[in-house]
Structure 1
Amino acid sequence: MKLPAYATALTAAALLPFVTGAAVRSAELPSVNMEVTVKAAQIDPRRADDTLTPGAKGSVLLVERALKDRRLLDKKWVDGYFGSETVAAYTKYQRSLGFTGLGTNGLPGKKSLVKLGAGRFRVTNVIEPGTRASTGGFVLNARTRSMLAEAKRLLGRNLVLEQGSYNPGGDPTSAGTHDGGGVVDISVKGMSAATRTVVARELRRVGFAAWVRSPAQGNWPWHIHAAAINDTDLSGQAQHQVGDYYLGRNGLANRGPDDGPKVTIRTWEEYKRR
Protein backbone atom coordinates (compact mmCIF):
# COMPACT_ATOMS: atom_id res chain seq x y z
CA MET A 1 0.00 0.00 0.00
CA LYS A 2 1.34 3.39 -1.00
CA LEU A 3 1.65 5.85 1.88
CA PRO A 4 0.16 9.34 1.51
CA ALA A 5 2.66 12.07 0.73
CA TYR A 6 2.40 13.58 4.23
CA ALA A 7 3.05 10.16 5.83
CA THR A 8 6.14 9.63 3.68
CA ALA A 9 7.42 13.05 4.66
CA LEU A 10 6.82 12.34 8.35
CA THR A 11 8.65 9.01 8.09
CA ALA A 12 11.64 10.66 6.41
CA ALA A 13 11.65 13.43 9.00
CA ALA A 14 11.56 10.90 11.81
CA LEU A 15 14.56 9.04 10.39
CA LEU A 16 16.60 12.17 9.63
CA PRO A 17 18.11 12.62 13.11
CA PHE A 18 19.37 9.03 13.08
CA VAL A 19 20.86 9.29 9.56
CA THR A 20 22.40 12.68 10.28
CA GLY A 21 23.74 11.49 13.63
CA ALA A 22 25.44 8.49 12.03
CA ALA A 23 26.99 10.70 9.36
CA VAL A 24 28.24 13.16 11.95
CA ARG A 25 29.71 10.40 14.11
CA SER A 26 31.53 8.98 11.09
CA ALA A 27 32.88 12.39 10.16
CA GLU A 28 34.14 12.89 13.71
CA LEU A 29 36.28 9.75 13.59
CA PRO A 30 39.99 10.23 12.86
CA SER A 31 41.05 9.20 9.37
CA VAL A 32 43.59 6.71 8.07
CA ASN A 33 45.07 7.72 4.74
CA MET A 34 45.32 4.37 2.98
CA GLU A 35 47.81 5.63 0.37
CA VAL A 36 50.48 6.68 2.86
CA THR A 37 49.81 3.71 5.13
CA VAL A 38 50.38 1.20 2.33
CA LYS A 39 53.46 3.14 1.22
CA ALA A 40 54.89 2.93 4.75
CA ALA A 41 54.21 -0.82 4.86
CA GLN A 42 56.45 -1.25 1.82
CA ILE A 43 59.24 1.14 2.80
CA ASP A 44 59.61 0.88 6.58
CA PRO A 45 60.54 -2.84 6.76
CA ARG A 46 63.43 -2.18 4.36
CA ARG A 47 64.98 0.69 6.32
CA ALA A 48 68.18 0.25 8.28
CA ASP A 49 66.89 2.70 10.90
CA ASP A 50 63.55 3.79 12.35
CA THR A 51 62.98 6.85 10.18
CA LEU A 52 59.25 7.31 9.62
CA THR A 53 57.72 7.50 6.16
CA PRO A 54 56.79 11.18 5.64
CA GLY A 55 53.12 11.89 6.30
CA ALA A 56 52.33 8.36 7.50
CA LYS A 57 52.82 8.50 11.27
CA GLY A 58 49.26 9.48 12.29
CA SER A 59 47.61 6.89 10.06
CA VAL A 60 50.04 4.12 10.98
CA LEU A 61 49.55 4.81 14.69
CA LEU A 62 45.79 4.38 14.33
CA VAL A 63 46.30 1.04 12.58
CA GLU A 64 48.84 -0.13 15.15
CA ARG A 65 46.61 0.82 18.10
CA ALA A 66 43.77 -1.17 16.58
CA LEU A 67 46.08 -4.17 16.11
CA LYS A 68 47.32 -3.83 19.70
CA ASP A 69 43.75 -3.77 21.02
CA ARG A 70 43.17 -7.03 19.15
CA ARG A 71 46.25 -8.41 20.94
CA LEU A 72 48.07 -8.87 17.64
CA LEU A 73 50.81 -6.27 18.21
CA ASP A 74 52.84 -5.58 21.32
CA LYS A 75 52.56 -2.07 22.76
CA LYS A 76 56.26 -1.36 22.20
CA TRP A 77 55.72 -1.54 18.42
CA VAL A 78 52.98 1.10 18.41
CA ASP A 79 55.25 3.86 17.17
CA GLY A 80 54.02 5.04 13.76
CA TYR A 81 56.64 2.91 12.02
CA PHE A 82 55.13 0.18 9.81
CA GLY A 83 58.04 -2.18 10.25
CA SER A 84 58.26 -5.95 9.99
CA GLU A 85 56.51 -6.48 13.36
CA THR A 86 53.51 -4.43 12.21
CA VAL A 87 53.44 -6.22 8.84
CA ALA A 88 53.44 -9.57 10.66
CA ALA A 89 50.65 -8.39 12.98
CA TYR A 90 48.58 -7.19 10.04
CA THR A 91 49.07 -10.56 8.35
CA LYS A 92 47.71 -12.28 11.47
CA TYR A 93 44.75 -9.92 11.42
CA GLN A 94 44.05 -10.71 7.75
CA ARG A 95 44.14 -14.42 8.54
CA SER A 96 41.76 -13.89 11.45
CA LEU A 97 39.27 -12.55 8.90
CA GLY A 98 39.53 -15.77 6.92
CA PHE A 99 41.63 -14.24 4.13
CA THR A 100 44.10 -16.47 2.30
CA GLY A 101 46.84 -16.13 -0.32
CA LEU A 102 47.55 -12.54 -1.35
CA GLY A 103 44.88 -11.44 1.09
CA THR A 104 47.41 -12.17 3.86
CA ASN A 105 50.39 -10.29 2.38
CA GLY A 106 50.55 -7.81 5.27
CA LEU A 107 49.56 -4.80 3.15
CA PRO A 108 46.38 -3.05 4.34
CA GLY A 109 43.79 -3.72 1.64
CA LYS A 110 40.49 -1.88 1.52
CA LYS A 111 38.29 -4.62 3.03
CA SER A 112 40.58 -5.46 5.92
CA LEU A 113 41.38 -1.82 6.71
CA VAL A 114 37.72 -0.78 6.77
CA LYS A 115 36.92 -3.71 9.08
CA LEU A 116 39.83 -2.83 11.37
CA GLY A 117 38.64 0.76 11.58
CA ALA A 118 34.98 0.06 12.33
CA GLY A 119 34.01 2.53 15.07
CA ARG A 120 37.65 3.67 15.40
CA PHE A 121 38.66 5.45 12.20
CA ARG A 122 37.49 6.09 8.67
CA VAL A 123 39.55 5.21 5.61
CA THR A 124 40.43 7.89 3.06
CA ASN A 125 42.45 7.83 -0.18
CA VAL A 126 41.33 4.27 -0.89
CA ILE A 127 43.39 2.15 -3.29
CA GLU A 128 42.00 -0.86 -5.13
CA PRO A 129 43.81 -3.10 -7.66
CA GLY A 130 40.57 -3.68 -9.55
CA THR A 131 39.49 -6.64 -11.61
CA ARG A 132 41.93 -9.07 -13.18
CA ALA A 133 41.93 -9.69 -16.92
CA SER A 134 44.19 -11.14 -19.58
CA THR A 135 46.25 -8.58 -21.50
CA GLY A 136 48.50 -9.82 -24.27
CA GLY A 137 48.20 -13.32 -22.86
CA PHE A 138 49.17 -12.25 -19.34
CA VAL A 139 46.98 -11.56 -16.31
CA LEU A 140 47.00 -7.97 -14.98
CA ASN A 141 44.71 -6.06 -12.67
CA ALA A 142 42.86 -2.92 -13.76
CA ARG A 143 45.18 -0.52 -11.93
CA THR A 144 48.28 -1.99 -13.61
CA ARG A 145 46.60 -1.89 -17.02
CA SER A 146 45.78 1.79 -16.56
CA MET A 147 49.35 2.56 -15.55
CA LEU A 148 50.77 0.75 -18.58
CA ALA A 149 48.30 2.51 -20.89
CA GLU A 150 49.46 5.90 -19.62
CA ALA A 151 53.12 4.95 -20.00
CA LYS A 152 52.43 3.90 -23.60
CA ARG A 153 50.70 7.22 -24.23
CA LEU A 154 53.65 9.18 -22.87
CA LEU A 155 56.10 7.11 -24.92
CA GLY A 156 54.03 7.10 -28.10
CA ARG A 157 54.81 3.42 -28.58
CA ASN A 158 53.51 0.00 -27.67
CA LEU A 159 55.03 -2.07 -24.89
CA VAL A 160 55.20 -5.84 -25.27
CA LEU A 161 54.93 -7.93 -22.11
CA GLU A 162 57.18 -10.92 -21.45
CA GLN A 163 55.64 -11.74 -18.08
CA GLY A 164 52.58 -10.52 -16.20
CA SER A 165 51.21 -10.72 -12.67
CA TYR A 166 49.58 -13.42 -10.50
CA ASN A 167 52.04 -16.05 -11.67
CA PRO A 168 50.26 -19.38 -11.08
CA GLY A 169 53.29 -21.66 -11.11
CA GLY A 170 56.16 -19.54 -9.91
CA ASP A 171 59.17 -18.58 -12.00
CA PRO A 172 62.56 -19.27 -10.38
CA THR A 173 64.15 -16.32 -12.21
CA SER A 174 61.63 -13.84 -10.75
CA ALA A 175 62.05 -14.94 -7.10
CA GLY A 176 58.31 -14.67 -6.46
CA THR A 177 57.93 -11.03 -7.51
CA HIS A 178 55.36 -11.92 -10.17
CA ASP A 179 53.31 -14.16 -7.86
CA GLY A 180 51.19 -11.18 -6.82
CA GLY A 181 49.69 -8.21 -8.64
CA GLY A 182 51.23 -5.10 -10.13
CA VAL A 183 54.41 -6.64 -11.58
CA VAL A 184 55.36 -6.98 -15.25
CA ASP A 185 58.40 -7.69 -17.41
CA ILE A 186 58.60 -5.76 -20.67
CA SER A 187 60.45 -6.82 -23.81
CA VAL A 188 63.27 -4.57 -25.00
CA LYS A 189 63.69 -6.34 -28.33
CA GLY A 190 64.77 -3.84 -30.96
CA MET A 191 65.36 -1.07 -28.42
CA SER A 192 68.63 0.81 -28.19
CA ALA A 193 70.22 1.34 -24.78
CA ALA A 194 68.94 4.93 -24.80
CA THR A 195 65.39 3.81 -25.62
CA ARG A 196 65.42 1.23 -22.83
CA THR A 197 66.30 3.99 -20.38
CA VAL A 198 63.53 6.25 -21.70
CA VAL A 199 60.96 3.46 -21.29
CA ALA A 200 62.09 2.78 -17.72
CA ARG A 201 61.89 6.51 -16.97
CA GLU A 202 58.29 6.83 -18.18
CA LEU A 203 57.27 3.72 -16.27
CA ARG A 204 58.73 5.30 -13.15
CA ARG A 205 56.96 8.54 -13.93
CA VAL A 206 53.50 6.89 -13.77
CA GLY A 207 54.16 4.99 -10.54
CA PHE A 208 56.24 1.89 -11.23
CA ALA A 209 59.48 0.94 -9.53
CA ALA A 210 61.18 0.06 -12.82
CA TRP A 211 64.66 -1.07 -13.83
CA VAL A 212 66.40 -2.20 -17.00
CA ARG A 213 67.69 -5.72 -16.26
CA SER A 214 70.70 -7.23 -18.01
CA PRO A 215 72.00 -10.84 -18.31
CA ALA A 216 74.97 -9.80 -16.18
CA GLN A 217 72.62 -9.32 -13.21
CA GLY A 218 70.93 -12.71 -13.23
CA ASN A 219 69.68 -15.70 -15.19
CA TRP A 220 67.55 -13.68 -17.60
CA PRO A 221 67.74 -11.85 -20.94
CA TRP A 222 67.65 -8.07 -21.30
CA HIS A 223 64.24 -6.77 -20.19
CA ILE A 224 62.56 -4.07 -18.10
CA HIS A 225 61.17 -5.14 -14.74
CA ALA A 226 58.43 -2.98 -13.23
CA ALA A 227 56.49 -3.21 -9.95
CA ALA A 228 53.49 -0.95 -9.35
CA ILE A 229 54.03 1.04 -6.16
CA ASN A 230 51.15 0.69 -3.66
CA ASP A 231 49.43 -2.19 -5.45
CA THR A 232 47.83 -3.91 -2.46
CA ASP A 233 48.14 -7.30 -4.22
CA LEU A 234 51.96 -7.15 -4.30
CA SER A 235 53.78 -10.30 -3.23
CA GLY A 236 56.16 -9.98 -0.30
CA GLN A 237 59.17 -10.00 -2.63
CA ALA A 238 57.68 -7.23 -4.79
CA GLN A 239 56.91 -5.19 -1.67
CA HIS A 240 60.61 -5.36 -0.80
CA GLN A 241 61.56 -4.18 -4.28
CA VAL A 242 59.28 -1.15 -3.97
CA GLY A 243 60.68 -0.32 -0.55
CA ASP A 244 64.24 -0.57 -1.89
CA TYR A 245 63.33 1.68 -4.82
CA TYR A 246 62.27 4.42 -2.41
CA LEU A 247 65.54 3.93 -0.53
CA GLY A 248 67.68 4.35 -3.66
CA ARG A 249 68.45 0.70 -4.28
CA ASN A 250 68.27 -1.54 -7.35
CA GLY A 251 65.58 -4.01 -6.25
CA LEU A 252 67.95 -6.98 -6.56
CA ALA A 253 69.10 -9.38 -3.84
CA ASN A 254 72.41 -7.53 -3.52
CA ARG A 255 70.54 -4.30 -2.68
CA GLY A 256 73.01 -2.29 -4.72
CA PRO A 257 72.54 1.37 -5.63
CA ASP A 258 69.70 2.27 -7.99
CA ASP A 259 70.98 2.16 -11.55
CA GLY A 260 67.84 3.54 -13.20
CA PRO A 261 66.85 6.99 -14.48
CA LYS A 262 66.25 9.58 -11.79
CA VAL A 263 62.66 10.83 -11.51
CA THR A 264 60.43 12.15 -8.75
CA ILE A 265 59.04 9.00 -7.12
CA ARG A 266 55.25 8.96 -7.25
CA THR A 267 52.47 6.43 -6.89
CA TRP A 268 49.87 6.11 -9.65
CA GLU A 269 47.40 8.09 -7.55
CA GLU A 270 49.95 10.84 -6.93
CA TYR A 271 50.72 10.96 -10.65
CA LYS A 272 47.05 11.47 -11.50
CA ARG A 273 46.78 14.34 -8.97
CA ARG A 274 49.95 16.12 -10.09
Structure 2
Amino acid sequence: MPAELDERSTLMNEVYTRRRLFTRGAAFGAALAVPALVGAQSAATADVTALATVDMELVLLAAQVDPPKSGTGTTPGAASHVLAVEQALQAKGLLSSAQSDGHYGTSTLDAYAAWQRSLGYSGLDANGVPGRSSLTQLGAGRFDVTRPVTVGSNTDSYGGRRVNTRTADMLRKADSTLSWSLTLTQGSYTSSNPDSAGTHDGGGVVDISVSGLTTTQRWQTVKALRTVGFAAWLRTPEQGFAYHIHANAVSDPDMSRQARDQVHDYYFGRNGLATHAADNTPEAYRVAFTWWEKSQRG
Protein backbone atom coordinates (compact mmCIF):
# COMPACT_ATOMS: atom_id res chain seq x y z
CA MET A 1 0.00 0.00 0.00
CA PRO A 2 1.42 3.49 -0.90
CA ALA A 3 2.66 5.46 2.09
CA GLU A 4 0.05 8.22 1.67
CA LEU A 5 -2.84 5.76 1.73
CA ASP A 6 -1.28 3.75 4.58
CA GLU A 7 -0.99 6.87 6.74
CA ARG A 8 -4.58 7.87 6.00
CA SER A 9 -5.82 4.38 6.86
CA THR A 10 -3.92 4.37 10.17
CA LEU A 11 -5.29 7.77 11.12
CA MET A 12 -8.87 6.84 10.31
CA ASN A 13 -8.55 3.57 12.26
CA GLU A 14 -7.33 5.51 15.29
CA VAL A 15 -10.26 7.91 15.04
CA TYR A 16 -12.71 5.03 14.74
CA THR A 17 -11.21 3.17 17.74
CA ARG A 18 -11.31 6.22 19.96
CA ARG A 19 -14.88 7.07 18.98
CA ARG A 20 -16.00 3.48 19.66
CA LEU A 21 -14.38 3.40 23.09
CA PHE A 22 -15.75 6.79 23.99
CA THR A 23 -19.28 5.80 22.98
CA ARG A 24 -19.15 2.61 25.05
CA GLY A 25 -18.12 4.62 28.12
CA ALA A 26 -15.04 2.49 28.68
CA ALA A 27 -12.68 3.81 31.32
CA PHE A 28 -9.88 4.11 28.82
CA GLY A 29 -12.16 5.82 26.35
CA ALA A 30 -13.32 8.28 29.00
CA ALA A 31 -9.73 9.15 29.69
CA LEU A 32 -9.00 10.05 26.08
CA ALA A 33 -8.46 13.75 25.49
CA VAL A 34 -11.37 15.04 23.42
CA PRO A 35 -9.26 17.77 21.74
CA ALA A 36 -6.95 15.08 20.39
CA LEU A 37 -9.93 13.21 18.93
CA VAL A 38 -11.32 16.36 17.35
CA GLY A 39 -7.91 17.23 15.99
CA ALA A 40 -7.50 13.78 14.46
CA GLN A 41 -10.94 13.98 12.86
CA SER A 42 -10.15 17.42 11.42
CA ALA A 43 -6.84 16.22 10.02
CA ALA A 44 -8.47 13.16 8.47
CA THR A 45 -11.26 15.26 6.94
CA ALA A 46 -8.81 17.80 5.53
CA ASP A 47 -6.72 15.00 4.02
CA VAL A 48 -9.72 13.36 2.38
CA THR A 49 -11.11 16.60 0.90
CA ALA A 50 -7.83 18.10 -0.29
CA LEU A 51 -8.39 17.30 -3.98
CA ALA A 52 -8.97 20.16 -6.42
CA THR A 53 -12.14 20.29 -8.51
CA VAL A 54 -12.47 20.42 -12.28
CA ASP A 55 -15.68 21.81 -13.79
CA MET A 56 -16.40 19.60 -16.79
CA GLU A 57 -18.80 22.09 -18.35
CA LEU A 58 -16.08 24.74 -18.50
CA VAL A 59 -13.47 22.30 -19.82
CA LEU A 60 -15.84 21.30 -22.62
CA LEU A 61 -16.47 24.94 -23.42
CA ALA A 62 -12.74 25.56 -23.75
CA ALA A 63 -12.34 22.42 -25.90
CA GLN A 64 -14.67 24.05 -28.45
CA VAL A 65 -13.59 27.67 -28.19
CA ASP A 66 -9.79 27.40 -27.86
CA PRO A 67 -8.47 25.15 -30.66
CA PRO A 68 -9.32 27.42 -33.65
CA LYS A 69 -7.74 30.49 -32.01
CA SER A 70 -4.67 31.93 -33.70
CA GLY A 71 -2.95 32.35 -30.32
CA THR A 72 -3.02 30.64 -26.97
CA GLY A 73 -5.57 32.82 -25.20
CA THR A 74 -7.73 31.09 -22.62
CA THR A 75 -11.51 30.92 -22.32
CA PRO A 76 -12.80 33.14 -19.48
CA GLY A 77 -13.61 31.08 -16.40
CA ALA A 78 -12.14 27.86 -17.80
CA ALA A 79 -8.37 28.33 -17.62
CA SER A 80 -7.73 26.91 -14.14
CA HIS A 81 -9.88 23.85 -14.87
CA VAL A 82 -8.15 23.23 -18.19
CA LEU A 83 -4.76 23.65 -16.51
CA ALA A 84 -5.60 20.94 -13.96
CA VAL A 85 -6.48 18.58 -16.82
CA GLU A 86 -3.29 19.47 -18.68
CA GLN A 87 -1.13 18.92 -15.60
CA ALA A 88 -2.69 15.49 -15.17
CA LEU A 89 -1.90 14.70 -18.83
CA GLN A 90 1.62 16.01 -18.29
CA ALA A 91 2.06 13.72 -15.27
CA LYS A 92 1.21 10.78 -17.54
CA GLY A 93 3.81 11.85 -20.10
CA LEU A 94 1.25 12.87 -22.70
CA LEU A 95 1.75 16.65 -22.72
CA SER A 96 4.79 18.86 -22.26
CA SER A 97 5.04 21.43 -19.46
CA ALA A 98 5.27 24.21 -22.07
CA GLN A 99 1.83 23.24 -23.36
CA SER A 100 0.22 23.11 -19.92
CA ASP A 101 -1.03 26.68 -20.02
CA GLY A 102 -4.81 26.66 -19.52
CA HIS A 103 -5.43 26.89 -23.27
CA TYR A 104 -7.23 23.82 -24.61
CA GLY A 105 -5.49 23.90 -27.97
CA THR A 106 -4.71 21.22 -30.53
CA SER A 107 -1.81 19.84 -28.45
CA THR A 108 -4.16 19.31 -25.51
CA LEU A 109 -6.75 17.74 -27.82
CA ASP A 110 -4.11 15.32 -29.14
CA ALA A 111 -2.85 14.53 -25.64
CA TYR A 112 -6.34 13.89 -24.32
CA ALA A 113 -7.14 11.70 -27.33
CA ALA A 114 -4.02 9.66 -26.51
CA TRP A 115 -5.28 9.30 -22.94
CA GLN A 116 -8.67 8.11 -24.21
CA ARG A 117 -6.99 5.55 -26.50
CA SER A 118 -4.91 4.30 -23.58
CA LEU A 119 -8.20 3.50 -21.84
CA GLY A 120 -9.36 1.47 -24.83
CA TYR A 121 -11.60 4.10 -26.46
CA SER A 122 -11.73 4.72 -30.20
CA GLY A 123 -13.63 6.77 -32.77
CA LEU A 124 -15.74 9.57 -31.30
CA ASP A 125 -14.89 8.31 -27.82
CA ALA A 126 -11.25 9.21 -28.51
CA ASN A 127 -11.80 12.62 -30.10
CA GLY A 128 -9.73 14.56 -27.54
CA VAL A 129 -12.81 16.01 -25.84
CA PRO A 130 -13.35 14.80 -22.27
CA GLY A 131 -16.10 12.36 -21.51
CA ARG A 132 -17.23 11.87 -17.94
CA SER A 133 -15.56 8.48 -17.50
CA SER A 134 -12.17 9.37 -19.01
CA LEU A 135 -12.05 12.68 -17.11
CA THR A 136 -12.89 10.98 -13.82
CA GLN A 137 -10.16 8.39 -14.37
CA LEU A 138 -7.64 11.07 -15.32
CA GLY A 139 -8.42 12.94 -12.12
CA ALA A 140 -7.98 9.95 -9.80
CA GLY A 141 -5.93 11.19 -6.85
CA ARG A 142 -5.60 14.67 -8.40
CA PHE A 143 -9.04 16.27 -8.81
CA ASP A 144 -12.75 15.62 -8.52
CA VAL A 145 -15.06 16.24 -11.49
CA THR A 146 -17.95 18.65 -10.92
CA ARG A 147 -20.90 19.48 -13.21
CA PRO A 148 -20.42 16.39 -15.40
CA VAL A 149 -21.94 16.33 -18.89
CA THR A 150 -23.25 13.14 -20.49
CA VAL A 151 -24.98 12.54 -23.82
CA GLY A 152 -26.95 9.47 -22.80
CA SER A 153 -27.73 6.98 -25.55
CA ASN A 154 -26.29 7.81 -28.96
CA THR A 155 -29.06 5.85 -30.67
CA ASP A 156 -31.97 7.92 -29.43
CA SER A 157 -34.18 9.70 -31.96
CA TYR A 158 -36.28 12.79 -32.46
CA GLY A 159 -38.93 12.88 -35.16
CA GLY A 160 -37.47 9.74 -36.66
CA ARG A 161 -33.92 11.12 -36.92
CA ARG A 162 -31.02 9.72 -34.93
CA VAL A 163 -29.72 11.93 -32.13
CA ASN A 164 -28.37 11.32 -28.65
CA THR A 165 -30.52 11.68 -25.54
CA ARG A 166 -29.07 15.07 -24.55
CA THR A 167 -29.88 16.49 -28.00
CA ALA A 168 -33.38 14.99 -27.91
CA ASP A 169 -34.02 16.62 -24.53
CA MET A 170 -32.86 19.98 -25.89
CA LEU A 171 -35.06 19.71 -28.98
CA ARG A 172 -38.03 18.70 -26.87
CA LYS A 173 -37.58 21.75 -24.64
CA ALA A 174 -37.25 24.15 -27.58
CA ASP A 175 -40.23 22.53 -29.30
CA SER A 176 -42.39 23.06 -26.20
CA THR A 177 -41.92 26.85 -26.42
CA LEU A 178 -43.21 27.10 -30.00
CA SER A 179 -46.74 26.86 -31.36
CA TRP A 180 -45.46 24.85 -34.35
CA SER A 181 -43.43 21.66 -34.34
CA LEU A 182 -39.75 21.11 -35.08
CA THR A 183 -39.20 18.81 -38.04
CA LEU A 184 -35.71 17.43 -38.52
CA THR A 185 -34.39 16.88 -42.03
CA GLN A 186 -31.03 15.53 -40.88
CA GLY A 187 -29.92 14.08 -37.57
CA SER A 188 -26.57 13.28 -35.97
CA TYR A 189 -23.99 10.50 -36.37
CA THR A 190 -24.34 10.50 -40.15
CA SER A 191 -21.99 11.26 -43.03
CA SER A 192 -24.58 10.62 -45.74
CA ASN A 193 -24.72 14.26 -46.87
CA PRO A 194 -21.37 15.50 -48.25
CA ASP A 195 -22.67 19.09 -48.24
CA SER A 196 -22.57 18.96 -44.43
CA ALA A 197 -18.74 18.90 -44.51
CA GLY A 198 -18.47 16.51 -41.57
CA THR A 199 -20.52 18.57 -39.13
CA HIS A 200 -23.11 15.80 -38.68
CA ASP A 201 -20.54 12.99 -38.33
CA GLY A 202 -20.71 13.17 -34.54
CA GLY A 203 -23.36 14.00 -31.98
CA GLY A 204 -25.33 17.13 -31.20
CA VAL A 205 -25.92 18.45 -34.74
CA VAL A 206 -29.25 18.59 -36.58
CA ASP A 207 -30.87 20.35 -39.52
CA ILE A 208 -34.43 21.59 -39.12
CA SER A 209 -37.04 22.34 -41.78
CA VAL A 210 -38.53 25.83 -41.99
CA SER A 211 -41.01 24.90 -44.71
CA GLY A 212 -44.35 26.64 -44.20
CA LEU A 213 -42.98 29.05 -41.60
CA THR A 214 -43.05 32.81 -41.99
CA THR A 215 -39.80 34.76 -41.77
CA THR A 216 -40.67 35.78 -38.22
CA GLN A 217 -41.41 32.18 -37.24
CA ARG A 218 -38.09 31.05 -38.68
CA TRP A 219 -36.20 33.54 -36.54
CA GLN A 220 -38.31 32.67 -33.51
CA THR A 221 -37.30 29.04 -34.00
CA VAL A 222 -33.63 30.05 -34.10
CA LYS A 223 -34.11 31.96 -30.84
CA ALA A 224 -35.87 29.02 -29.16
CA LEU A 225 -33.01 26.71 -30.11
CA ARG A 226 -30.36 29.16 -28.92
CA THR A 227 -32.18 29.64 -25.62
CA VAL A 228 -31.78 25.96 -24.71
CA GLY A 229 -28.12 25.84 -25.73
CA PHE A 230 -27.83 25.31 -29.48
CA ALA A 231 -25.52 27.27 -31.72
CA ALA A 232 -28.24 27.78 -34.33
CA TRP A 233 -28.35 29.67 -37.61
CA LEU A 234 -30.90 30.16 -40.36
CA ARG A 235 -29.22 29.03 -43.59
CA THR A 236 -30.33 30.91 -46.71
CA PRO A 237 -30.02 30.77 -50.51
CA GLU A 238 -27.68 33.79 -50.31
CA GLN A 239 -25.30 31.51 -48.37
CA GLY A 240 -25.68 28.74 -50.94
CA PHE A 241 -28.31 26.66 -49.11
CA ALA A 242 -31.99 25.94 -49.33
CA TYR A 243 -33.71 27.54 -46.36
CA HIS A 244 -33.22 25.49 -43.18
CA ILE A 245 -31.89 25.85 -39.65
CA HIS A 246 -28.56 24.29 -38.73
CA ALA A 247 -28.15 23.68 -34.99
CA ASN A 248 -25.21 22.43 -32.89
CA ALA A 249 -25.78 21.37 -29.28
CA VAL A 250 -23.06 23.37 -27.50
CA SER A 251 -20.70 21.24 -25.37
CA ASP A 252 -21.81 17.88 -26.73
CA PRO A 253 -18.79 15.62 -26.02
CA ASP A 254 -19.53 13.54 -29.15
CA MET A 255 -19.41 16.50 -31.52
CA SER A 256 -17.13 16.28 -34.56
CA ARG A 257 -14.19 18.63 -34.92
CA GLN A 258 -15.91 20.49 -37.77
CA ALA A 259 -19.00 21.06 -35.65
CA ARG A 260 -16.94 22.22 -32.65
CA ASP A 261 -15.28 24.78 -34.90
CA GLN A 262 -18.76 26.10 -35.70
CA VAL A 263 -19.43 26.52 -31.98
CA HIS A 264 -16.22 28.55 -31.81
CA ASP A 265 -17.65 30.79 -34.54
CA TYR A 266 -20.96 31.13 -32.70
CA TYR A 267 -19.16 32.07 -29.47
CA PHE A 268 -17.54 34.96 -31.33
CA GLY A 269 -20.68 36.08 -33.18
CA ARG A 270 -19.94 34.54 -36.57
CA ASN A 271 -21.95 32.44 -39.00
CA GLY A 272 -20.29 29.02 -38.64
CA LEU A 273 -19.47 28.84 -42.35
CA ALA A 274 -16.17 28.80 -44.23
CA THR A 275 -16.43 32.57 -44.67
CA HIS A 276 -16.55 33.14 -40.87
CA ALA A 277 -18.69 36.18 -41.65
CA ALA A 278 -20.75 37.99 -39.04
CA ASP A 279 -23.86 36.21 -37.78
CA ASN A 280 -26.83 37.41 -39.84
CA THR A 281 -29.37 36.78 -37.06
CA PRO A 282 -31.36 39.94 -36.23
CA GLU A 283 -30.56 41.33 -32.80
CA ALA A 284 -34.11 40.68 -31.55
CA TYR A 285 -33.55 36.92 -31.93
CA ARG A 286 -30.13 36.62 -30.34
CA VAL A 287 -29.55 35.36 -26.81
CA ALA A 288 -26.56 35.20 -24.48
CA PHE A 289 -24.22 32.29 -25.20
CA THR A 290 -25.31 29.25 -23.19
CA TRP A 291 -25.44 25.46 -23.20
CA TRP A 292 -28.06 22.91 -22.12
CA GLU A 293 -27.01 22.34 -18.52
CA LYS A 294 -26.49 26.03 -17.87
CA SER A 295 -29.85 26.94 -19.43
CA GLN A 296 -31.60 24.50 -17.10
CA ARG A 297 -30.07 26.12 -14.02
CA GLY A 298 -31.89 29.33 -14.92
Within a 5 Å distance, the mapping from 1:103-252 to structure 2 comes to 103-131=125-153, 132-167=155-190, 169-218=191-240, 220-252=241-273
Aligned structure 1 segments of 4 or more residues deviating by more than 4 angstroms:
20-26
Q: How many angstroms apart in 2 are the aligned matches of 1:25 and 1:203? A: 45
Paired residues, number = 257
Larger radius of gyration: 2
Q: 1:259 — aligned with what?
A: 280
What displacement does 1:21 show?
Answer: 9.6
Q: Does 1:71 align with 2:93?
A: yes
What displacement does 1:134 show?
Answer: 2.6
Q: Which amino acid aligns with 1:145?
A: A
Within a 5 Å distance, the mapping from 1:80-91 to structure 2 comes to 80-91=102-113
1:27-82 C-alpha deviation (Å, 9 max, x unpaired): 32000000000000100112233332111111111100011111111111111111
Q: What's the % identity of the aligned pairs? A: 47
Name the SS for the 1:155 alignment partner. coil
What displacement does 1:92 show?
Answer: 1.4
CA contact (8 A) 1:140 1:166 kept: yes
TM-score, reference length from structure 1: 0.88
Name the SS for the 1:196 alignment partner. helix
Q: Which amino acid aligns with 2:115?
A: Y
- Mean Cα displacement is larger for which, 133-142 or 200-209? 133-142
- Mean Cα displacement is larger for which, 35-44 or 64-73? 64-73
Q: How many angstroms apart in 2 are the aligned matches of 1:22 and 1:183? A: 47
Measured at CA, do residues 76 and 173 of structure 1 come closer, stay the same or move farther in structure 2, by a change above 3 Å? Answer: same
CA contact (8 A) 1:212 1:224 kept: yes
Q: 2:55 — aligned with what?
A: 33
Measured at CA, do residues 114 and 171 of structure 1 come closer, stay the same or move farther in structure 2, by a change above 3 Å? Answer: same
Name the SS for the 2:114 alignment partner. helix
CA contact (8 A) 1:170 1:176 kept: no
Q: How many angstroms apart in 2 are the aligned matches of 1:21 and 1:93? A: 34
1:105-157 C-alpha deviation (Å, 9 max, x unpaired): 11111011011111111100000001131322211111111111111111232
Q: How many angstroms apart in 1 are the aligned matches of 2:265 and 2:45? A: 41
1:232-262 C-alpha deviation (Å, 9 max, x unpaired): 1101111111111101111111111112242
Name the SS for the 1:31 alignment partner. strand
Q: How many angstroms apart in 2 are the aligned matches of 1:101 and 1:267? A: 24
Q: Which amino acid aligns with 1:133?
A: D
Q: How many angstroms apart in 1 are the aligned matches of 2:121 and 2:46? A: 31
TM-score, reference length from structure 2: 0.81
Q: 1:102 — aligned with what?
A: 124
- Mean Cα displacement is larger for which, 44-53 or 61-70? 44-53
Name the SS for the 1:102 alignment partner. helix
Q: Which amino acid aligns with 2:197?
A: A
